[in-house]
Amino acid sequence: MIWTKIKRVIKAGAKGFVRNGSVSVASTLIMTVTLSVVLSILFVGALLQSTLQGIREKVDINVYLETTTTDDQAQALKQALEARPEVASVTYTTAAEALENFRARHADNPLITEALDEVGGNPLEPSLNIRAVDPSQYQAIADFVTTQNVSGDKTRNIVDKISYIENKEAIDTLSRMIDSSEKLGLIITIFFALISILITFNTVRLAIYTSKDEIAVMRLVGASARYIKGPFIIIGIIYGFISSLITLAIFYPITYWLGPYTYDLGTGLNIFTYYLDNFMQITAIIIAAGIILGIISSWIAVKKYIKV
């Protein structure tokens, strides 16, 4: 009996969707635009996160050690740093390796090579390259380096300079940009979600208005509140479901075309590849978003404009 009533409500909702014709088309298009905005935010968020991750991986600090620093002292400091939870990795470059790398980078410049030969010996310092788990943790790492004991001596006696001090402003700017972008993404998502609910609410309200005569007749014959309101909830669900399929179909060629450009921009992400790799998750999110928005908006409209 219950299933029979449910089938009738679904059938009535489907008929109402078809019968409304242009209203249904308009509502579906509006919902498609809304879901396109939602999907665009997902893609922009993925591109932004990929870009920020690439920046995170490039940001580091170098601790340049005095030329008199022994390998034991450098290794002791390296091990102390690696034991820190905020440190992702530490790479030690000896003075000899630094000189070899410098010569390799400037092999095509004979003036630099001749200058090194004139100086004699090795003027370059050993160094530690440090990558943090999060850019905001570089200050703590720099403070640790300047206060840590190594072989009974303060590291400030073996540390010549720390590049973090020179790049602190740039690193702090990056940290603020990451935090701000995450907050901005959340605000934009909430804003467009509210817009989506408002738009769908108005389209369902329009459907209720166009069916006011039919609703009046159902009231007269004693139809239950669920039977009167149910079809409009189903209409909202249909709007969301069909719109989500249209949105997913539209973004396939769009992401295919934009894919190479998004990668060439330096984001490190081909948006088309991302779309295919995460197609099931994206499909589930968009369909769920469409149906949920349709249900919420329809329910609000029905609650407000249908009095049974």
Residue 42 pLDDT level (bands cut at 50, 70, 90)? confident
CATH code, residues 67-157: 3.30.70
Q: What is the mean pLDDT of the chain?
A: 77
Other CB atoms closer than 10 Å to residue 198's CB: what's the count?
13
Residue 224 pLDDT level (bands cut at 50, 70, 90)? low
Residue 246 pLDDT level (bands cut at 50, 70, 90)? very high
Residue 46 pLDDT level (bands cut at 50, 70, 90)? confident
In the chain, list all ranges with CATH 3.30.70. Answer: 67-157
**What's residue 172's pLDDT?**
67
* Residue bearing the bigger pLDDT, 307 or 105: 105
* Residue bearing the bigger pLDDT, 201 or 255: 255
**What's residue 275's pLDDT?**
93
* Residue bearing the bigger pLDDT, 121 or 254: 254
| Mean pLDDT within 19-31 | 73
Considering the entire predicted model, what is its pTM? 0.65
